[in-house]
Amino acid sequence: MRGPEPRILRGWGMANHARSLVYRPLDIGEVASAILDARDRGMSITARGSGLSYGDAALNQGGAVVDLTAMDRVLDFDPEQGLIRVEAGMTIAQLWQHVLPRGWWPPVVPGSMEVTLGGAVAMNVHGKNHATAGAIGRHVEAVTLVTGDGEVHDLRRGVVAQAEEGLWSMDLSDVLGAQGLTGTLVDVTLALRRVHSGFLEVEVETADSLPATFDALDRGAREADYTVAWVDCVGRAAGRGVLHHAWYLPPDHELAGEGMNPETQRLPGRIAGVLPRRHAWRALRPLSNDVGIRLLNTGRYYSARLRGTRRYTQTHAAFHFLLDYVPGWKQAYGSGGLLQYQLFVPAIGAREAFAEALHEQRRLGVPSYLGVLKRHTHEDGAASYSVDGYSLALDFPVGRGERYSRLMRLCRALDRIRARYGGRIYAAKDAVSVGRLPERRDPAFSSNLVRRWEEGVG
Amino acid sequence: MRHVVLVGATHGIGLALAHAYAERSWRVGIVGRSAPRVQERVGEIRESYPGCLVTGGVLDVTRRAAVTPALERVLVDLGQMDLLVYCAGVMEEGRMGSARMLDVNLLGAVDVLEWAAAHLVDVGSGRLAAIGSVAGDRGRRGNPVYGASKAGLHTYLEALRHRLHPDGIGVSTIKPGWVRTRMLGEVPSVPPSVSASRAAELILKKLDRGRDEFYVPAWWWIVSEILRTLPGPLYKRVAPS
């Protein structure tokens, strides 16, 4: 490992940044020495993967950051059982490319494949199959982590690790969703999902109001393997949506055994056959305002609506990784960056809560440029963000001046809605609210987000 | 998620800016010379704007060695810095007073802004600003050293603006006229004087728009422009105090 370097790191939304002393260890021993070195300097420590947390969860102003991305090897893979042990810095992209040719797929994937496995487990991320498959933590069989004293611990599912004196004990639930605050994850053993094809069967339908979108989502959550709704949040028709449901293909499907080569999963180089993918965000830039977004959303809704409910097959990668489809799309939000507010609320009251949320953004004149509705299930684990209910993820440009102040007022209004309906906060997305920190924490670890939540201020 | 550090914010325009930014949901770091006063101000603002992140830092800007550690500490508590406004300023009399004015109004500003510039250059975006004065535009009859300290600050800010332009960092020179703060003492609360909170509102709007140099209120620009273009022999006779 080269010596640690002071660097400015950013949250994925680009609105948050911090200067930290960054260590980039190559193995477990170096993770332990990085942690001990940072502690000798009197610094707190934040573990960081690809830096895809939207806000300030992977930032540590004036402290140390342990960047795990150099640790991205496969340690062990059993292609019969579908069990894989990988280093924490391996990305979901590297993982599926490794296992798909052998007939496996990660059981849970988020909207971007750049996320590392360590980050995914530390935040206990979910995918479009949360209601049926749970978050990624449910599929974790074991992890190795390094605690603040530089000690290495192996935790396996169903086994409580204890120190010799018996004063200390820890199990997997202390790690899942704990933001790395109980220790820095260095490897993860994951139970994979068997797939018979590199393709999914996808159904697209439209819904003309928020209640109809909810109904369609509920049906998808019952019947499909994956389901997600894009929600138009602009204007009078706010709440209408386009739903995507997807199913794994059965072993007797004509596409069984097809598309298992990572090459076939590659996202197309051009969008709609013409626009180079790499530069597509530039085309979005002029549309990144209230009028443009209204046009874009209306166009999106009606183009889906005109084609009616339809079914087609699509690769896993193209279905799951929407956030990677237009690289750099967040730059279309301008220099102030982007804020996502993901409102998680229990199933009872969710329809009312989200109707209120859409109403508030209209009242304050801050429409969300991208709204995504998903069905979730309850998760155990440290300070879980997830409830048996729904989430509405709303993207906004942070903006300047009066616009920024109105957005902050909207966030406070959404906070109140969340509190009233018993909702939760997801650290991987948060930049403006206050959530629950895991009760059990190792004092060596902290972050900008942790300090903010401790203070209790958004 | 916008973060402002206000140096010299326990009184006057700085304090008014702290209120104005907190009201607009910025996260605010207040830096002042006296620890109890900083604590008091932080408490007041937190109470006025519940849920707003307000932090305090203690720094005597004339103690050069204290600048970096104090501001680094503020940065840790605040999380980040998108804007820094240097509001510290004094107006005093006599030889000692002259030295202090140069120390606080000019040298302190240089130390604080150099620290902030180095940080923002690494970040690649952000804005720096300092409160100058209409008194720095042209030599007056009264308090020449105060005017000289502000004129020095203006020139320094202009140079800094040119230096940081390639890095995408903006630098704003704020030139207030008569603002009712303790510095001016008894100023009648009628125009042309404005209250500190009114001045803060105007400053905030202009900084939002990324203006390089502006007067508070804006009409001072005309006055200043006239005074500045008057030929020396004529100005000699009409120079204000």
A-facing residues of B in 175-204 (CB < 8 A) are none
Residue of B nearest to A453 (CA): B53
Asked if the structure places residue A427 within a domain, the reply is no
Same domain, A303 and A182: no
Please give the CATH architecture assigned to the domain spanning B3-238. 3-Layer(aba) Sandwich (3.40)
Distance between CA A101 and CA A103 in Å, rounded? 6
Residue A167's pLDDT is 65
pLDDT at A1 over 80: no
B125/A400 Cβ within 8 A: no
Same domain, A377 and A450: no
Average pLDDT, chain A: 94
Across the interface, of A59, A448, A457, the residue whose CB is closest to B52 is A457
Residue A331's pLDDT is 85
Residue A281's pLDDT is 83
Residue B222's pLDDT is 95
> Considering A125, A159, A194, which residue would you say is the last residue of a domain?
A194
For residues A66 and A34, is the Cβ–Cβ distance under 8 A? Answer: yes
Distance between CA A427 and CA A445 in Å, rounded? 15
A19/B53 Cβ within 8 A: no
Residue B236, Cβ density class (10 Å: 0-12 exposed, 13-18 middle, ≥19 buried) = exposed
The CATH number assigned to the domain holding A122 equals 3.30.465.10
Core vs surface per residue B172-198: b (16+ CB within 10 A) or e = bbbbbbbbbbebeeeeeeeeebbebbb
A404/B80 Cβ within 8 A: no
For chain B, say whether A458 makes contact (Cβ under 8 Å). yes
For residues A404 and B2, is the Cβ–Cβ distance under 8 A? Answer: yes
Asked if the structure places residue A426 within a domain, the reply is no
Same domain, A172 and A43: no
pLDDT at A458 over 70: yes
Residue B34's pLDDT is 97
Chain A residues with beta carbon closer than 8 angstroms to that of B79: 16, 18, 56, 59, 61, 448, 451-452
- % pLDDT > 70, chain A: 99
The CATH number assigned to the domain holding A302 equals 3.40.462
Residue of A nearest to B2 (CA): A15
The CATH number assigned to the domain holding A65 equals 3.30.43.10
Residue B224's pLDDT is 92
Same domain, A60 and A109: no
- Closest listed residue to residue B41, CA positions, set B16, B5, B66, B71: B16
H runs (alpha helix) in chain B: 12-23, 35-48, 64-78, 94-101, 109-123, 144-164, 196-208, 220-229, 232-238
Neighbours of B201 (CB within 10 A): 18
State the pairing for strand pair A104-105/A193-194: antiparallel
In the set B146, B156, B215, B235, the catalytic residue is B146
Same domain, A143 and A229: no
Chain B residues with beta carbon closer than 8 angstroms to that of A431: 1
> Is residue A421 within a helix (H) or strand (E), and if so which, with residue range?
helix A401-421
Same domain, A291 and A190: no
> Considering A159, A194, A229, which residue would you say is the last residue of a domain?
A194
Across the interface, of A15, A408, A452, the residue whose CB is closest to B25 is A408
For chain B, say whether A404 makes contact (Cβ under 8 Å). yes
How many domains does chain A divide into? Answer: 3
Across the interface, of B1, B51, B79, the residue whose CB is closest to A61 is B79
State the pairing for strand pair A161-162/A169-170: antiparallel
Distance between CA B36 and CA B38 in Å, rounded? 5
Q: For an interface test with B, which of A7, A19, A364, A454 has the most B Cβ atoms less than 10 Å from its Cβ?
A: A19
Chain A residues with beta carbon closer than 8 angstroms to that of B208: 400-401
CB pairs under 8 A between A and B: 62
Distance between CA A57 and CA B2 in Å, rounded? 16
- Closest listed residue to residue A92, CA positions, set A105, A78, A82, A79: A105
- Report the DSSP beta bridge partners of residue A76: A85
Asked if the structure places residue A429 within a domain, the reply is no
Residue A390's pLDDT is 98
Same domain, A78 and A207: no
B123/A8 Cβ within 8 A: yes
Task: Give the model confidence (pLDDT) of A323-380 as tens digits.
Answer: 887 888 888 888 889 999 999 999 999 999 999 999 999 999 999 999 999 999 998 8
The dihedral sign for the CA sequence A201, A227, A103, A252:
negative
- Find all residues with CB under 8 Å of B79, minimum gap 6, and list them: A16, A18, A56, A59, A61, A448, A451, A452, B3, B27, B53
A63/B25 Cβ within 8 A: no
Residue A289's pLDDT is 87
Task: Give the model confidence (pLDDT) of A69-108 as tens digits.
Answer: 999 999 999 999 999 999 999 999 999 999 999 999 999 9
- Closest listed residue to residue A194, CA positions, set A83, A74, A120: A83
Asked if the structure places residue A433 within a domain, the reply is no
pTM: 0.94
Task: Give the model confidence (pLDDT) of A267-315 as tens digits.
Answer: 777 777 777 878 888 888 888 888 898 998 999 999 999 999 999 999 9
Residue B189's pLDDT is 67
Task: Give the model confidence (pLDDT) of A225-265 as tens digits.
Answer: 999 999 999 988 899 999 999 999 999 999 999 999 998 88
Residue of A nearest to B168 (CA): A335
Chain A residues with beta carbon closer than 8 angstroms to that of B170: none
* Per-position pLDDT tens, chain B of length 241: 899 999 999 999 999 999 999 999 999 999 999 999 999 999 999 999 988 899 999 999 999 999 999 999 999 999 999 999 999 999 999 999 999 999 999 999 999 999 999 999 999 999 999 999 999 999 988 889 999 999 999 999 999 999 999 999 999 999 999 898 888 776 666 667 899 999 999 999 999 999 999 999 999 999 999 999 999 999 988 888 7
B125/A335 Cβ within 8 A: yes
Residue A165's pLDDT is 65
Distance between CA B134 and CA A295 in Å, rounded? 48
A404/B24 Cβ within 8 A: yes
For chain B, say whether A451 makes contact (Cβ under 8 Å). yes
Angle at A282 between CA A280 and CA A285, to 5 degrees: 120
Whether a cis peptide bond, with omega within 30° of 0, leads into B192 is yes
> Considering A194, A222, A255, which residue would you say is the last residue of a domain?
A194
Mean pLDDT score, A381-396: 91
Distance between CA B28 and CA B20 in Å, rounded? 10
Task: Give the model confidence (pLDDT) of A160-180 as tens digits.
Answer: 877 766 667 889 999 999 999
Residue indicated by tokens 């509705």: A373
Instruction: Show the domain range for A222.
Output: 199-421
SS3 B19: helix
Same domain, A188 and A240: no
Chain A residues with beta carbon closer than 8 angstroms to that of B73: 62
Same domain, A238 and A293: yes
Residue B39 distance to chain A (closest CA, Å): 16
H runs (alpha helix) in A276-349: 280-284, 290-307, 316-320, 322-325
Same domain, A274 and A335: yes
Distance between CA B216 and CA B194 in Å, rounded? 9
The dihedral sign for the CA sequence A238, A113, A127, A456:
negative
Chain A residues with beta carbon closer than 8 angstroms to that of B75: 19, 61-62
Residue of B nearest to A449 (CA): B79
Residue A164's pLDDT is 65
Same domain, A226 and A363: yes
Active site residue B235: no
Same domain, A88 and A63: no
For chain A, say whether B123 makes contact (Cβ under 8 Å). yes
Asked if the structure places residue A434 within a domain, the reply is no
B119/A16 Cβ within 8 A: no
Chain B residues with beta carbon closer than 8 angstroms to that of A15: 1
**Which tokens belong to A22?**
């960054």
Asked if the structure places residue A431 within a domain, the reply is no
